[in-house]
Amino acid sequence: MIYLIVGGVIVGGSLIALLSVAAADTALFAENFPLLLGMNAVAVVALALLIVYQVYVLRRRIRAGLFGAKLTARLTRLFVLMALVPGLVVYAVSVQFIIKSIESWFDVRLEKALEGGLSLGQSALEYLERDLVKKAEGLSQRLSDLPAAEQLDDLNELRETAGVQELALFGMDGRLLGFASADKGGFMPPSLDQGALWQVRLQQPWSRVEASPASHGLSVRVAAPVNVVSFSDPLRVLQVTQPVPANMALAALQVEQARAEYQELAVSRLGLKRLYGLSLTLALAIALFTAISLGFLLSQRLAAPLRALARGTRAVARGDFSQVHTVSSRDELGMLTQSFNRMTQQLAEAHTAAQEHQDRLQEAKAYLEGVLARLTTGVVTLDEQLVARIVNPAAAAILGVERASLEGRPLDRWGDPGSPLHHLAMVIREHFQRAATSSWQGQWEYVRGEGVRALIMRGAPLTAHATPDYALVIDDITRLVQAQRDAAWGEVARRLAHEIKNPLTPIQLSAERLQVKLADRLDNASRATLVRSTDTIINQVAALKGLVDAFSQYAKLPAPRIERLDLNDLINEVAVLYESHTHLSLALSEGLPPVAGDAALLRQVLHNLLKNADEALAEVENPLLRVATRLAEDGVELCVTDNGPGFPEQLFSRLFEPYATTKAKGTGLGLAVVRKIVEEHHGVIEVRNLEGGGAQVCVTLPVLESNHE
């Protein structure tokens, strides 16, 4: 840019100097005037293009949002105003001075006289032209009143009457029809101008003042339309020619010649005016170009450190604190750069400390999330509005829902209205509202798809504020409660077996002894009564012994002997005993892996399930009993399905407890024993009623691991 400025100033100065030399030398000026004029014009256009280019570059930088572009524009405007305002004043004064100086070199009165004479001659010619137009219109009107055949005969008479030099009648195709002239010698047929023909067609007269070749003077020629009488006659054109008086033509030619000669003399004056004006314009363009260029240069130098600071600021905004700029000056911009470097260093240190603190927080959060994720106890944190913030996986598993359906939601939006989850959430909310600043706990039953779960929940505030955050701890004690119930029933069964079994044998022996000793001593009626009574005692004692044996079996099942077992083979073995039941069907998946189990105990499980299903189908018209196996995610699944009445809803929560039965003579120990055997095998048992009717009991047994083979 600096070289462009220097080059432009040198070229402009050289041209201005050359103009000055040419203006001083008249011969050189007259000889090289076009060249000088072209060189100056090219220089002015080049400087104007450079200025336009600089403005375009500046606007493009502003639109691109380049830092410093607006500062460059502001400084450029200031420099342009500083150069343009005084430059325009000097330019205007100089132009006026040059114009007046050059004008004083010529006789203004002579030029005015020539202009006046020329104007007077033009006015006289215009008068002659208007007069001849009126005569031509009159003559065409008179011709239009005559028939077409008589118009040619009367042309000479009309010419003499009007006092004109010559008349000519033409057709609309430009063909000469008739001619009358005062000049009898040297006849030359006149012609009709095409412009006249077009204007006459528009029903307008046409006129022109032109040089006459015959008289070497001026003549006026007028064309007018000759309208026809009938539509069958074609339109004709009348042309009237009248020479301008010789003295008037001579005076006009002399005035015109004098004026042309004066104009030739004034060429040098106009050229000087243009040349000096162009020189001043060139000087102004050089000044303007220099101002704009200096504005660019100075603004770029001023904006360079600011642009560096802007880049550093954007880098700091992105988190990059490594931007350090070199201090190249000791002025205010250098002080600002030094302050920015100190600020960047301090921000880098603060960012490092904050990042370390954030890392520690992230580690603590990850550690806390890891602990919460591995807890078997459910933990839920809530804010002061009782909106769940954190729900660990154990809590979601206990409640049987996804974490996403709980986190970020208030308690009153847990579950659908009327659902067990919503009811439980309302209980929790009520306890937190009652004990806002103290702890509480309680035990509740929670109904899930597979049954009723026993939950212990504890709530406590996390802070001592009036509106603190809260923590909710949920423990699923279903297995514990069930184990306590099993232990209690086992103790009851053991004591009943012990207390009842001991007197049963003496009672049975006494009844048999009475029957043996007294049967022969009584008459027939009394003997029959005795036999019937003793048989009743013996039968009831036998029934009590069976009940005691069942309780003994429930109280103390034998420890399972785990071994490799093919579940499908075991099912086929047991199904043979039920061949008489034509409604039994098997759907056993092939290729099942072996399970880890006790064949005797699992055979007892199958007998109990098939026996219960068979008894449930006693009153069904079309009984169906199906045994199926498949490979599940947690092991091998065995399902026994029937189309009986299903399990009563009121017994669902107590199906695996003793005496939970709908049979008149049942003890309710069947499913209790089945569940106990399945749990001894580390399996899972599920009971459900089918939608179309019937019940299904599914037992999942773990697959035998490879180290047990």
pLDDT-derived band at 708, boundaries 50, 70, 90: very low
**H or E segment at 541?**
helix 524-555
Residue 525 lies in a domain: yes
pLDDT of residue 638: 93
Q: Is the pLDDT confidence value at 36 over 80?
A: no
pLDDT of residue 709: 46
Same domain, 204 and 283: no
pLDDT of residue 664: 46
What is d(CA 234, CA 54) in angstroms, rounded to the nearest whole number? 70
Q: Is the pLDDT confidence value at 234 over 80?
A: no
**SS3 sequence of 334-384:** HHHHHHHHHHHHHHHHHHHHHHHHHHHHHHHHHHHHHHHHHCCCEEEEECC
Closest CA to 288 of 2, 5, 3: 5
Residue 231 lies in a domain: yes
Residue 225 lies in a domain: yes
**Region of poorest pLDDT, from 52-61, 296-305, 621-630:** 296-305
Same domain, 513 and 583: no
CATH number of the domain encompassing residue 160: 3.30.450.20
Tokens at residue 631, please? 């490979």
pLDDT-derived band at 659, boundaries 50, 70, 90: low
Residue 331 lies in a domain: no
- Of the candidates 555, 571, 594, which is a domain's last residue? 555
**Region of poorest pLDDT, from 28-42, 453-467, 524-538, 583-597:** 28-42
The amino acid present at 84, given as its one-letter code, is: L
pLDDT-derived band at 447, boundaries 50, 70, 90: confident
- Of the candidates 504, 536, 555, which is a domain's last residue? 555
Cross-strand partners of 595: 565, 703
What is d(CA 392, CA 693) in angstroms, rounded to the nearest whole number? 38
Phi, psi of 595 (to 5 degrees): -110, 160
Q: Is the pLDDT confidence value at 444 over 80?
A: yes
Q: Is the dihedral of CA 300, 302, 305, 308 positive or negative?
A: negative
pLDDT of residue 357: 86
Q: Look up the domain containing 136 and give its range.
A: 124-182+191-244
* pLDDT, average across residues 688-695: 85
Q: In what order do the strands lie in the sheet with 684-689?
A: 584-588, 625-631, 636-642, 695-701, 684-689
Top pLDDT among 108 and 181 is at 181
Q: Is the dihedral of CA 398, 403, 407, 410 positive or negative?
A: negative
Closest CA to 226 of 129, 156, 149, 146: 146
Q: Exposure string (b/e) for 336-353, b if CB count within 10 Å is 16 or more?
A: ebeebbeebeeebeeeee
* pLDDT, average across residues 477-495: 67
What is d(CA 242, CA 595) in angstroms, rounded to the nearest whole number? 139
pLDDT of residue 272: 63
Same domain, 569 and 545: no
In the DSSP assignment, the letter for residue 235 is P
**Complete DSSP assignment for 563-625:** EEE-HHHHHHHHHGGGTT-TTEEEEEPTTPPPEEE-HHHHHHHHHHHHHHHHHHTTT-SS--E
pLDDT-derived band at 50, boundaries 50, 70, 90: confident
Q: Is the pLDDT confidence value at 423 over 50?
A: yes
Residue 362 lies in a domain: no
**SS3 sequence of 188-232:** CCCCCCHHHHHHHHCCCCEEEEEEECCCCEEEEEEEEEECCCCCC
**Region of poorest pLDDT, from 17-26, 71-80, 479-488:** 17-26
Give the highest mean pLDDT range of 263-272, 422-431, 448-457: 422-431
The C-alpha angle 242, 248, 251, rounded to 5 degrees, equals: 140
Residue 591 lies in a domain: yes
81-86 contacts: CB < 8 A, separation 24 or more?
82/291, 83/287, 83/288, 83/290, 83/291, 84/287, 84/288, 84/291
Same domain, 381 and 410: yes
Q: Is the pLDDT confidence value at 178 over 90?
A: no
What is d(CA 43, CA 262) in angstroms, rounded to the nearest whole number? 32
**Region of poorest pLDDT, from 73-77, 411-415, 506-510, 554-558:** 554-558
Tokens at residue 308, please? 């560096």
Cross-strand partners of 179: 168
- Of the candidates 449, 476, 503, which is a domain's last residue? 476
Q: Is the pLDDT confidence value at 555 over 80?
A: no
Q: Is the pLDDT confidence value at 702 over 70?
A: yes
pLDDT of residue 707: 47
pLDDT-derived band at 528, boundaries 50, 70, 90: confident
What is d(CA 182, CA 129) in angstroms, rounded to the nearest whole number? 19
Tokens at residue 376, please? 């078997």
Phi, psi of 597 (to 5 degrees): -160, 170
Q: Is the pLDDT confidence value at 641 over 90?
A: yes
Same domain, 100 and 167: no
Residue 517 lies in a domain: yes
In the DSSP assignment, the letter for residue 153 is T
Tokens at residue 153, please? 């005969």
* pLDDT, average across residues 457-467: 80
**Complete DSSP assignment for 42-88:** HHHHHHHHHHHHHHHHHHHHHHTT-TTHHHHHHHHHHHHHHHHHHHH
Give the highest mean pLDDT range of 20-34, 361-375, 382-396, 552-566: 382-396
Instruction: Please tell me whether the overall predicted TM-score, pTM, comes out greater than 0.85 for this model.
Output: no
**Region of poorest pLDDT, from 4-18, 176-190, 243-257, 447-461:** 4-18
CATH number of the domain encompassing residue 603: 3.30.565.10
* Angle subtended by helix axes 26-63 and 246-317, to nearest 10: 30
Same domain, 568 and 672: yes
Number of domains in the chain: 5
Same domain, 63 and 158: no
Q: Is the pLDDT confidence value at 630 over 90?
A: yes
Tell me what percent of the residues of the chain surpass a pLDDT of 70: 69
Q: Write the Ramachandran bin of 474: left for phi over 0, alpha for psi from -120 to 50, otherwise beta.
A: beta
Residue 368 lies in a domain: no
Same domain, 504 and 573: no
What is d(CA 181, CA 131) in angstroms, rounded to the nearest whole number? 19
Same domain, 512 and 585: no
Helix-strand-coil percent breakdown of the chain, rounded to 5?
Answer: 60, 15, 25
The 3-state DSSP class for residue 414 equals coil
**Region of poorest pLDDT, from 289-298, 549-558, 608-617:** 549-558
Same domain, 465 and 572: no
State the virtual CA torsion across 617, 618, 624, 626 in degrees, nearest 10.
60
* pLDDT, average across residues 117-137: 75
What is d(CA 59, CA 62) in angstroms, rounded to the nearest whole number? 5
* pLDDT, average across residues 393-397: 85
Same domain, 393 and 424: yes
Same domain, 692 and 603: yes
Q: Is the pLDDT confidence value at 371 over 80?
A: no
What is d(CA 684, CA 675) in angstroms, rounded to the nearest whole number? 8
